[in-house]
């Protein structure tokens, strides 16, 4: 199975600060279709996960543009330009290229 | 709007079975597969597999072969997860998610206790 390694495990940031989360996969996520199925989701406390980014860098329509995704092959990054209170929770990367799909262990964003 | 509404929490004894439902609305049910994801208490997310809502064919991740069953009631736009012969380690919140995981159910907590 593809192992997804997220760092850091946790982040403690003040409102307005930037955030960066790394996600590395044990094998390339570039699929035979030419697409890379690396996605990001956010699970706020006590809630189900919510979509953020798909195919590395494409934001879902409701996601604020302070979020961005980048990367290729095996190394990916989620960035938040300026953290807001509603951004707290656990961020997961997950890959949908190789079955079984796999999740990173999560990065917990806390407010300082 | 698109919604996935799951059935309520369950309390079961070891060895029993549980059936969790996931009712979809706001889109054509058979156009997207349905994923199932496990989240043990205080832990991360684990992909269990998916079911093709057009054909009804389930595909299980290795850790979920044997006691876990995905099936459909297509006429009701509903997907089901059944867990047989429950074990303590099955205690978790189970989520359904539309193919691509753009939409998630609210989760169903399964408690296993003698």
SS3 per-residue string spanning B41-109: CCCCCEEEEEECCCCCCEEECHHHCCCEEEEEEHHHCEEEEEECCCCHHHCEEEEEEECCCCCECCCEE
The partner residue sitting opposite A100, judged by closest CB among B47, B95, B105, is B47
CB proximity A104 to B under 8 Å: yes
Question: In tens digits, what is the pLDDT along chain A, a chain of 112 residues?
Answer: 999 999 999 999 999 999 999 999 999 999 999 999 999 999 999 999 999 999 999 999 999 999 999 999 999 999 999 999 999 999 999 999 999 999 999 999 999 8
Give the residue from A100, A35, A105 showing the smallest Cα distance to A72. Answer: A35
Please tell me the predicted confidence (pLDDT) of residue B100.
85
CA B54, distance to chain mean position in Å, is 17
| Residue in this structure with the two tokens 């189900």, named with its chain if needed | A48
Mean pLDDT of B79-91: 98
Q: Report pLDDT for A24.
A: 98
- State the best of B20, B44, B48, B65 to mutate against chain A, taking most chain A CBs within 10 Å: B44
Question: Using CA atoms, how far apart are residues A52 and A54, in angstroms rounded to an integer?
Answer: 7
What pLDDT sits at residue A112?
87
Local confidence band at B18 (pLDDT 50, 70, 90 cut-offs):
very high
| A50/B45 Cβ within 8 A | no
**What's the pLDDT band for B101 if we cut at 50, 70, 90?**
confident
B100 vs A54, A90, A92: nearest CB = A54
Judged on CB neighbours under 10 Å (0-12, 13-18, 19+), A60 is middle
The reply to whether residue A103 touches residue B47, judged by beta carbons under 8 angstroms, is: yes
Classify residue A36 by its DSSP letter. Answer: B
The token pair at B88 is 């303590």
Task: Indicate the residue of B62, B102, B105 with minimum beta-carbon distance to A51.
Answer: B102
B10-12 and B108-112: which strand pairing? parallel
Residue B78: predicted pLDDT: 98
* Contacts by residues B51-60 (CB-CB < 8 Å, ≥ 24 positions apart): B51/B79, B53/B29, B53/B79, B54/B30, B59/A99
Interatomic CA distance for residues B33 and B57, integer angstroms: 10
């Amino acid at each position: 199975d593809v192992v997804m390694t997220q760092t850091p495990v946790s982040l403690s940031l003040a409102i307005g600060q930037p955030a960066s989360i790394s996600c590395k996969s044990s094998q390339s996520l570039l699929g035979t279709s030419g697409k890379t199925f690396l996605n990001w989701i956010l699970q706020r406390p006590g809630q189900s996960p919510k979509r953020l980014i798909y195919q590395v860098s494409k934001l879902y329509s409701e996601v604020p543009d302070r979020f961005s995704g980048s990367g290729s092959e095996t190394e990916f990054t989620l960035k938040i330009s300026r953290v807001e209170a509603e951004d707290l929770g656990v961020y997961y990367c997950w890959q949908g290229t190789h079955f079984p799909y796999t999740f990173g262990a999560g990065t917990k964003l806390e407010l300082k | 709007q698109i919604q996935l509404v799951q059935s309520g929490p369950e309390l079961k004894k070891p060895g029993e079975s549980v059936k969790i439902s996931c009712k979809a609305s706001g889109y054509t049910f058979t156009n997207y597969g349905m994923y199932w994801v496990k989240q043990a208490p205080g832990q991360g997310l684990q992909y269990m597999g998916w079911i093709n809502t057009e054909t009804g064919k389930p595909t299980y991740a290795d850790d979920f072969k044997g006691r876990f069953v995905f099936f459909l009631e297509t006429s009701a736009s509903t997907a089901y997860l059944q867990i047989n012969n429950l074990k303590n380690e099955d205690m978790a919140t189970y989520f359904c998610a539309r193919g691509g995981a753009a939409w998630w159910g609210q989760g169903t907590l399964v408690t296993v206790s003698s």
